[in-house]
Amino acid sequence: MSDPFRFHTRLNLVELLGRKATTVLELLDGVREVPGASIYHHTHRFLQQHHYLSPEPPNDFAFWITERLGLDDVGERLASVDTVRYRRINDLRARYVEILEEVLAARRNSWPVCQEGEEFHFMSCRTFIIPLPDIARDVREFLDILGRISVNSLYYHVFESRLRMERGENDFAVWFEARGNRELAEALSRFDPYTITLEGLRQEIIGLVRRHVQD
Amino acid sequence: MSRIDDYVPVAGASEVEELKLLAARLEGKTIRNVNSTAVGGGVAEILTRMLPLLKDLGVDARWDVIKGNEQFFAITKNMHNALHGMDVPVTGDDLDFFVDVNRQNAAEMDLASDILFIHDPQPIALVERKRDLGRKWVWRCHIDFTNPRPEVWDFLKGYIERYDAAVFSAPAFSRPLSVRQVLISPSIDPLSDKNRELSEEEIDRVCAKHGVDRGRPIVTQISRFDYLKDPVGVIRAYRIVKEHTDCQLVLAGGGATDDPEGLRVLDDVRREAEGDPDIFVLFLPPGSDVEINALQRASSVVLQKSLKEGFGLTVAEALWKAKPVIASAVGGIPLQIAHKYSGILTRSVEGTAFWIKQLLQEPGYAQRLGVNGKEHIWANYLITRHIRDYLLLFLSLYFEKDVIQL
């Protein structure tokens, strides 16, 4: 029998790095050099702050390049980075660096500079993880708690634990795997949580668990 | 006075529960806020709203005010303007006097606390006491820091870097510093008169009082009469729209009656609006919060066409009422509006007119923007988020790592 599932929540404090970019080249320099927490923040901020929107706005890099520099083609490449494929933040960073290097190499001159006041400001975040009193000993309790926990808690177990904590899998998949629900664990692991609102994600997970447990 | 549990129906039970979990981790810590005025001004307003809620959460939060004479406040007013980039004189003698007043206060005040939370430049030099008192010191900057005059910035920087952390309201105010910088945006209080739900009768009454017709589209800008809010630009945008689309324009706001510039702006606006019965220029007295709330709720589209802006909380207020908002991409406004997702960002009179027409003629899209905007404010700019950020900030002073297991 596996251990009970202890729900946690996570809360972020946003930090400013005092560093900004006005061109693609300055953005590339920043992406290379800022801490991993900053890359995580800029690729996940919209998920948290706009978690009700579908389709969601893309990551900060793509949004800035499209909206502030008017480079729709570069923005599209950055927006389509498939975050769910990456299990380590530095691998994700490397993908952004690769794309930006490629576009810079392809066109050496006449890069736009953003207007004053529209610079890209590098930020980062400190993440606080707090255990909640909610503990699930079985699937029924799991579903009951999952239905009412905050989006912060849902976010932690699905996104933060997998990539930020570099556990490779989301916590729900790990728990069901340990309980012997291998198919459900695989379904939870395969699922792309980046293209759905957090409330949609909650309902999707509840639906998946119900279907597999009934099976 | 509101209690923290009063926010459960608005912010959600889990949000309030998380505040309680965080507050419990601060048990035994005292937090002393220090600013320069007990009444009037945004900082006093925020502290007045927030302190009772922090106390209700069990946090030992206190609030002290420094003393200063007329000369001191004249100097700090000049410093404030210099931080906004204005060319005003701040002499070496002024700065010496400023530091002397801070030292007198530091000698007289009881600063025994675990965390000293110092607001804005006026009491910034109290941090000299860090040498003998130790403890955690945080400087909270509430003002626009985009283009500070270098001599005043250099003077303040010498003090800011003695703190454990500095807090700014928008990313644009951040600059290279040797201390941690934290982003904490301001917030709106959903239970205040300016933001609480109103009945249709209350809204009708306010519109009728000013002769605004609720049966026709209403475009509104709420802000004090100030050139930086570009009220004349708003009227010009309205005139472009009016050529083909029927609507009314409401320009409403207050301003100090002893502010000569404000009165000049009001005159300009009235002159520009002359002869058009569909333009309503409303100079509202202090305490008109319910009236502002009603005018925002009656609007079809809300504008904030500022040329320069601190955070621009009027945008959050309008979005909270699920209104489609068209605003300039300045100051903290881009934090509140993701262009074409939760509102519209513009940069010109013509662009503003274009989007007013679009939103008046596409009410379905306008409504979607408003609904998304409200969600965005709910998730990010309510007072409960502001309290959460403060609690996290206080806790963060005791940890070094990026990921903190509490």
Instruction: Please check whether residue B400 touches A, CB under 8 A.
Output: no
The token pair that represents B32 in the structure block = 């002393």
For tokens 């626009």, the residue is: B144
Range of the domain at A56: 13-124
Are the C-beta atoms of residues A56 and A47 closer than 8 Å to each other? yes
pLDDT of residue B80: 85
- Evaluate the CA torsion angle B31, B34, B35, B37 in order and state its sign: positive
| Inside any domain, residue B254 | yes
Q: What is the pLDDT of residue B138?
A: 98
C-alpha span between B106 and B129 (Å, rounded): 7
CA distances from A141 to A6, B200, B203 (A): 11, 43, 46
Q: What is the pLDDT of residues A139-182, one digit of tens each?
A: 999 999 999 998 889 989 998 888 877 788 899 999 999 999 99
> Quick one: B113 and B250 in the same domain?
no
Are residues A170 and A91 both part of a single domain? no
- The answer to whether residues A111 and A30 belong to one domain is yes
- Based on the fold, state whether residues A83 and A18 are members of the same structural domain: yes
User: Residue A118: its chain B contacts at CB < 8 A?
Assistant: 329, 334
> In chain A, which residues have their Cβ closer than 8 Å to the Cβ of B406?
128-131
- Considering the domain architecture, whether residues A54 and A143 belong to the same structural domain is answered as no
Asked, for residue B84, whether it belongs to a domain, the answer is yes
In B, which residues are within 8 Å of A17 by CB distance? 174, 181
* B70 falls within a domain: yes
Q: Which of A100, A124, A148 is the last residue of a domain?
A: A124
Co-location of A118 and A135 in the same domain: no
A207 and A139 inside one domain: yes
Q: Indicate whether B349 belongs to any domain.
A: yes
Q: A66 in contact with B at a CB cutoff of 8 Å?
A: no
- Please check whether residues B177 and B106 belong to one and the same domain: yes
Question: Taking CA A104 as the corner, what is the angle to CA B175 and CA A44, rounded to the nearest 5 degrees?
Answer: 55
CATH, residue B175: 3.40.50.2000
* Amino acid residing at A105: A
Residues B176 and B43 in one domain: yes
Is A16–B404 a contact, with Cβ atoms under 8 angstroms apart? no
Spatial contact of B119 and B97, defined as CB atoms under 8 Å apart = no
How do residues A53-98 score in pLDDT, each as one tens digit? 555 667 899 999 998 899 999 999 999 998 888 889 999 999 999 9
Same domain membership, residue B168 and residue B290: no
Residues A23 and A100 in one domain: yes
Instruction: Kindly identify which residue of chain A lies nearest to residue B394, measuring between CA atoms.
Output: A13
Among residues A124, A153, A181, which one ends one of the domains?
A124
| A117 and A28 in a common domain | yes
Residue A107 pLDDT? 76
**Do B269 and B374 belong together in one domain?**
yes
Say whether both B293 and B320 belong to one domain. yes
Structural domain that includes position B148? 4-187+382-396
Nearest CA in chain B to A63: B338
Q: Which of A10, A126, A148, A154 to mutate to test the interface with B (most CBs of B within 10 A)?
A: A126
Say yes or no: A208 contacts chain B, CB-CB below 8 A: no
Lowest mean pLDDT among A12-26, A179-193, B37-51: B37-51
How close A18 comes to chain B (CA, Å)? 4
Contacts of range A59-68, beta carbons closer than 8 Å, 24 or more positions apart: A59/A83, A60/A120, A61/A27, A61/A31, A61/A96, A61/A120, A63/B338, A64/A27, A64/A114, A64/A120, A65/A24, A65/A27, A67/B339, A68/A114, A68/A115, A68/A118, A68/A120
Residues A101 and A160 in one domain: no
Quick check: A117 and B402 CB within 8 A? no
Q: Mean pLDDT: which of B171-175, B245-249, B304-308, B334-338 is highest?
A: B245-249
Among candidates B21, B177, B372 on the partner chain, residue whose Cβ is nearest the Cβ of A53: B372
Give the closest-approach CA distance of B270 to chain A in angstroms: 31
Quote the minimal CA–CA distance from B356 to chain A in Å. 20
What does the pLDDT read at residue B39?
Answer: 77
Of A19, A53, A127, the CB nearest to B403: A127
In this prediction, what percent of chain B has a pLDDT beyond 90? 78
Residues B217 and B134 in one domain: no
The number of domains in chain A is 2
User: Which has more pLDDT, B195 or B142?
Assistant: B195
Do B313 and B346 lie in one domain? The reply is yes
B236 falls within a domain: yes
Q: Is B164 on the interface with A (CB under 8 A)?
A: no
Closest CA in chain B for residue A40: B402
B91: CB partners within 8 A, 6+ apart? none
pLDDT of B294 higher than 90: yes
Asked if residue B205 and residue B145 are part of one domain, the reply reads: no
Q: With 70 as the cut, is the pLDDT of residue B68 above it?
A: yes
Does the CB of B388 have a partner CB in chain A at under 8 Å? yes
Residue B36 domain-assigned? yes
Percent pLDDT > 70 in chain B is 98
Q: State how many domains chain B has.
A: 2
Question: Is the same domain home to A120 and A207?
Answer: no
Residues A51 and A69 in one domain: yes
Give contacts of A90 with chain B, Cβ < 8 Å.
none
Say if residue B80 is in the same domain as residue B183. yes
Rg of chain A in Å (alpha carbons): 19
Chain-chain contact of B14 with A126 (C-beta, under 8 angstroms): no
The more confidently predicted of residues A105 and B235 is B235
* Token code pair at residue A27: 């953005």
A35 burial class (0-12, 13-18, 19+ CB within 10 angstroms)?
middle
Q: A132 and A106 in one domain?
A: no
Question: A39 contacts in B (CB within 8 Å)?
Answer: none
Whether residue B13 sits in one domain with residue B114: yes
pLDDT of B231: 96
What does the pLDDT look like over B329-387, one tens digit per residue?
887 898 899 889 899 999 999 999 999 999 999 999 999 999 999 999 998 999 999 99
**Least confident among A84-88, B75-79, B304-308:** A84-88
Nearest chain A residue to B373, by CA: A50
In-domain check, residue B403 = no
Any domain includes B192: no
pLDDT single digits (tens) B150-193: 999 999 999 999 999 999 998 888 889 999 999 999 999 999 99
Residue where a domain stops, chosen among A72, A95, A124? A124
For residues B71 and B152, membership in a common domain is answered with yes
